[in-house]
Amino acid sequence: MIILVFFLCHWFLSLFFQTFFLHRYASHKMFKLNPFWEKTFYLMTYVFQGSSFLNPRAYAILHRMHHTYSDTEKDPHSPHFAKDVIGMMVKTKNIYIDYQKHRVEPEPAFRGDYPTWNFVDRMGDSWISRIAFGCFYIAFYVVFATHWWLFLLLPIHFLMGPLHGAIVNWCGHKYGYSNFDNDDHSKNMLPLDFLMLGELFQNNHHKKPNDANFAKRWFEVDPTYPLMKLMHHLHIIRLRKI
C-alpha cells in the first residue's frame, strides 16, 4: 500500500507540474506569476519531476514547435513520423538536448521570454542530481516494497517526465475523437482525463492553444483547470482573459 501511494503521488505531482508549469505557463503563458511564485513552482517542478526533470525553456521551445508544425515532418514529436513510440521519444530527446544545451538557437518565431533559473537548471540537468533521485527511489522501494514485482515500477519513476510526454503525444495524436478540424491528427482520448490531468484533450488544445481550460464539451472535464481557478481566486496566479 505504501508503495502504491508513493507511486501515485509521484505520478500525479510530476504530471501536475508538467501540465501546470511547463505546459500551461512556460509554453503558453496562460497565466501570470509574480517572481516569488514563479521561483516556487520552478523549484517544485524540479523536486517532483526528480530524475526526469525537464528544462522549462527547452520544453517550451519544443512545445511551440509542436503547435506550429503539428503532425508534419518538422514536428519534434509527432507519432505519424516515427516508427514506434520509442523512436518518437528518441527524436524528441535529441532535439530537446540541442535546446537544453544551447547547441542551436531556435527560429525567431520560437524565441521568447521563457522562465529560466540557471541554478535549478544546472542542478536538474546534472547526472549527480538524476542519480541521487534514482537512489532515493530505489532506497524507498528496498525499505517498503513487500513483493519483488513492485520493483518493476522503478523505471517509470526514473523516466516519469518523458513518459508523460510520450503518452500525451503518441495517444493524443492517434486515438480518440475530434471536436474540431485542426488540419492535423490531434485527438481527445478521454472525456474525463483524470489519468493525464487534462493533457489528452489534444484536439481541443490545438484548436485554442492559449485557453487554460482544455475541456470544451459538457461531458469533458479538465481536472487541472479548477485548481488553476482556485489559485487565481487566491491571487497566486492571474489567468489570462481569452
∠ CA(173), CA(175), CA(176), 5° rounding? 110
**What's the length of the chain?**
242
The neighbouring-strand residues paired with 31 are 239
pLDDT at position 241 is 81
pLDDT at position 242 is 61
Which string of DSSP letters, residue by residue, matches 22-85? IIIIIIT--EE--HHHHHHHHHHHHHHHGGG---HHHHHHHHHHHHHTTTSTT-TT-GGGSSSH
Give the structural domain span for 190. 2-54+121-239
Could you tell me if residue 95 is inside a domain? no
pLDDT at position 163 is 96
Could you tell me if residue 167 is inside a domain? yes
Could you tell me if residue 22 is inside a domain? yes
Asked whether the whole model's pTM tops 0.85, one would answer yes
Which are the contacts of 38, defined by CB distance < 8 A and separation ≥ 6?
115
Nearest in space to 239 (alpha carbons), one of 10, 61, 29, 14? 29
Instruction: Output DSSP code: residue 107.
Output: P
> What is d(CA 82, CA 91) in angstroms, rounded to the nearest whole number?
8
Could you tell me if residue 83 is inside a domain? no
Could you tell me if residue 31 is inside a domain? yes
> What is d(CA 144, CA 6) in angstroms, rounded to the nearest whole number?
10
Could you tell me if residue 99 is inside a domain? no
> What is d(CA 56, CA 26) in angstroms, rounded to the nearest whole number?
6
How many domains in the chain? 1
> What is d(CA 174, CA 189) in angstroms, rounded to the nearest whole number?
9
Q: How many CA atoms lie within 13 A of 50 on its CB side?
A: 24
For each successive 10 residues of the chain (242 residues), what is the average pLDDT? Answer: 96 98 98 98 98 97 97 96 95 96 91 94 96 98 96 97 96 96 95 92 97 96 97 97 71
pLDDT at position 23 is 98
Could you tell me if residue 177 is inside a domain? yes
∠ CA(110), CA(89), CA(184), 5° rounding? 60
pLDDT at position 192 is 84
Q: Are 225 and 214 in contact (CB under 8 A)?
A: yes
Could you tell me if residue 87 is inside a domain? no
- Burial (CB < 10 A; 0-12, 13-18, 19+), residue 39, is middle
